[in-house]
Amino acid sequence: MGEYIGLDVSLKETALSVRRDGKRVWRGRCASDPAVIARVLRKHAPEAQRIVFETGPLSVWFYHALRAEGLPAICIDARHAKAALDMAANKTDANDADGLAHLAEVGFFREVRVKGYDSLLVRTLVAARSKLVQVTTELSNQIRGLMKTFGLIVPGAKGGSFEAEVRRLLSGDHGLARVILPLLEAWNAVRRRAAELGRQLLAGARQSQACQRLMAIPGIGAITATAFVTAIEDPANFRSSRSVAAWFGLTTRRYQSGEVDYDGHISRRGDAHMRGLLYEAATVLLTRSQVDSDLRAWGLKLRERLGFKRAAVAVARKLAVVMHAMLKSGHSYRAKAAMA
């Protein structure tokens, strides 16, 4: 019949449970290393049919490493698994592994598509740059706030102008300068590193035909296009372009029970960073774009009727649908056919 294995993965140790013919035949623990786990499973489960573990920080590494070992690794949605694992009387790693093995045996799970290493590397680049930009903003705000306490108001300058203004205001106050200048140097260093990562990202986007195609859409820049392409990976992963918006959490939630039936706010499931980028692109399209397009006209009508925020969310959802359709069909953006 073969064996069905559940792995409860933690940072240091992984609990394993092996089931065969509806019964648990072995369980134990080992180091959280795919190579070690592979050796243990070859000894205790030589005919493994499914190896199930939940999404988590180590799930991408485990999935690809176990697959490379020739093992049938399956990553499942942790939220889906939680509903079944909560049925156990006691919450332990061993019981969680047993529950996952049971799910593997009965086939009651939702498999998660695990991204490839190349896509994950690019997404890491996008995330790292975004974090450095955030740190830069926090440092500049901190410098402004500290100087304001001493009556030194930094004008609304950015980049090199901001640094020049700070140094000018501190030129007559050596005591405060000893405190602020280290912050300014840190701000400058982080800003340079963010610019370096930004250049890497832009160079990659210029070499990608898919990114270049998406960047023709008003409001879509190199960062949004790159993040979208690496999130989708293969357009064939989605049967319908409409499902992409739901995958990014941009569709409304629905609650129905008896006589109660209502729609709520957007679900906010999935990639929060990508959802934010799409919202920013929608904001640019509605407020700054000079390109006359059906999508912008539709969004402006929604803004008059529903308000700006709801209109921006709707345009972000439509952008996700249009961008996936472009990747799937290979067609270029047509401003007067975006709503078709």
Residue 10 has a pLDDT of 93
Q: What pLDDT is recorded for position 1? A: 67
Query: What pLDDT, on a 0 to 100 scale, did the predictor assign at position 337?
Result: 63
Please give the full DSSP string across 22-69, using - where no structure is assigned.
TEEEEEEEEES-HHHHHHHHHHH-TTEEEEEEE-STTHHHHHHHHHHT
The predicted model scores a pTM of 0.84
Pairing outcome for strands 73-76 and 48-54: parallel
Cβ–Cβ < 8 Å for 319, 312: no
Q: Quick one: which of 290, 278, 313, 130 has its CA closest to 299?
A: 313
The reported pLDDT for the residue numbered 121 is 93
CA Rg, the chain, in Å? 25
Q: Is the dihedral of CA 198, 203, 207, 213 positive or negative?
A: positive
Other Cβ atoms closer than 10 A to 70? 10
What pLDDT, on a 0 to 100 scale, did the predictor assign at position 339? 55
Rounded Cα distance, 106 and 115, in Å: 26
The whole-number pLDDT of residue 260 equals 76
Return the bridge partners of 29, or none. Answer: 15
HSE of 251, CA atoms in CB hemisphere, 13 A: 11
- Residue 238 has what pLDDT? 92
Q: What integer pLDDT is reported at residue 51 of this predicted model? A: 97
Cα–Cα distance measured from residue 225 to residue 233, given in angstroms and rounded to the nearest whole number: 12
pLDDT mean values, one per 10 residues, the chain (340 residues): 92 95 94 96 94 94 96 92 83 93 91 91 95 96 95 85 93 91 96 96 95 94 95 92 92 79 81 94 93 91 94 95 94 73
DSSP state of 206: H
Element holding 73 (H helix, E strand): strand 73-76
Under 8 Å between Cβ of 143 and 183: yes
